[in-house]
Structure 1
């Protein structure tokens, strides 16, 4: 079975599970939040464990956590620039992408380049 077929099946099953969880929780907007990124991450980590072992998947999971923290920094900055500074969307996102890259690579360097 191809890796893509396995990723499709595992990802679809996990998306369905997270969507059911999100449907039970309030507010209903959690359904979309729980449906996408966690399912793709879990499918990717499952395949990485199967193909490369737990150590490799652990390194990938650290990278995912660093990326998530950097995304939070990016999201907060975009919101602040749009709402408080009154910037337009394109300049706010361009400035924030630079900050996101700095946060991601900075956290990666702090982690010793092992994230």
Structure 2
């Protein structure tokens, strides 16, 4: 139960800090970008370090990096399918989702969870 309280408080503080940072930047669309994923990732890694140690947190951080790279590939594929090839949204996201899975699991299989 205390783990959930710590996650709630740490996540709230970090989300608020990133939201303030995003609000100070231009364009304002950065506020939403900075308010979600980085703050949740930092809170999760902080809790992982406290509960499981730095080695475990390092492995977790690498899987987050692989997911981010896969998301970048997903975004590029979706943009090309939607704009260049005029594919409708549902097939484009499904195909790009397959690309995301292939890249994420390929990186995980190729490099593993730790450096």
2:32 matched residue in structure 1: 32
1:63 matched residue in structure 2: 63
Map 1:1-115; keep pairs closer than 5 Å. 2-111=2-111, 113-115=112-114
Q: 1:114 deviation in Å?
A: 2.5
**Aligned partners of 1:64 and 1:37: how far apart in 2?**
10
- Aligned-residue RMSD, C-alpha: 1.0
Deviations 1:78-101 (A, max 9, x none): 111011110111100111111111
Contact 2:82–2:88 (Cα < 8 Å) also in 1: yes
In structure 1, the gaps of 5 or more residues are: none
Structure 1 stretches (4+) deviating beyond 3 angstroms? none
- With structure 2 as the length reference, what TM-score do the two structures score? 0.95
- With structure 1 as the length reference, what TM-score do the two structures score? 0.95
Q: How many residues align?
A: 114
**Aligned partners of 1:40 and 1:102: how far apart in 2?**
24
